[in-house]
Structure 1
Amino acid sequence: MANTNAAGYAWLLGRVGNQRWEWLHIRGAGLGGKTDSTNLVAGARDANTHMIPFESNIRHLGTAVKNHPQKYSRLRVIWSVSGQVAKYAYKTIRIKWSLFRKNNTKKATGDVSFKPLDTSNNISKNEVTKIENLLNDIRSGL
């Protein structure tokens, strides 16, 4: 990652201020994403925190497919980035998913985008908990 930490890289991009910076996985390591330059981008810590409940949701949906093969045929997840501003910096990270029933109809879908370089979107642990609870409610019908 250009032999620097994420804060140093953000500084090189002219992103200064009080924001904490991290290397964000485009595809979470716990979901099979690599921890290398092909899958890491600079981003604000709040963007990383915001991604956690959605990555957890995908993990739960994958478990539903594994544990209930008589009900679900597959989970399709697409991770993407857009708006490249530097080698390891993008304006948007997007995660899109579809859980398919055995008859190939969609049971659950989602599409969420994150702005890793945006320092104006702070998220609290309380807000993350609300997102997690909402996603749990949606999954309760699986």
Structure 2
Amino acid sequence: MKRNILPKSSGARRNNSVRRARARTSRSVDAKAEGSFVNWCKRLGVNGNLAESVVSTASYAFGFCLERLASVPPRVCLAASFWFGLRFCGDRSVFTCQNLRRVEEFSGVPVKLILAVEAKLGSEMRVRRARRDDLEEGWAEC
């Protein structure tokens, strides 16, 4: 008579624990990324509502970059997302060549790589926005 020593566990219980662990790690990654974005904004002299706009845009872009561009290292995603946030914050005086060089110094990522990943990130986000807009119904369809 053999006794099963291993406890029985359902797959659902395991999946939930994995989901919770991923959610915790993604929240901690997001918090660290936001902290980096805030520090970089201070170093560039961006403050107030403009800094909040940059940080929120960059945080969204960073999550999107980690999700969709999995082959890109996180450090490169962080720098490209920050530059994306600076470019789309609405103030043209912020995304200058000098600030791009400073972002290169802060992050340790070459300028060409930042620009390449930022361009890819922008095109992927435009595709996602276009898909989302296509799914919305208009009044004419009712």
TM-score normalised per structure 1: 0.28
Structure with greater strand percent: 1
Structure with greater helix percent: 2
Larger radius of gyration: 2
TM-score normalised per structure 2: 0.28
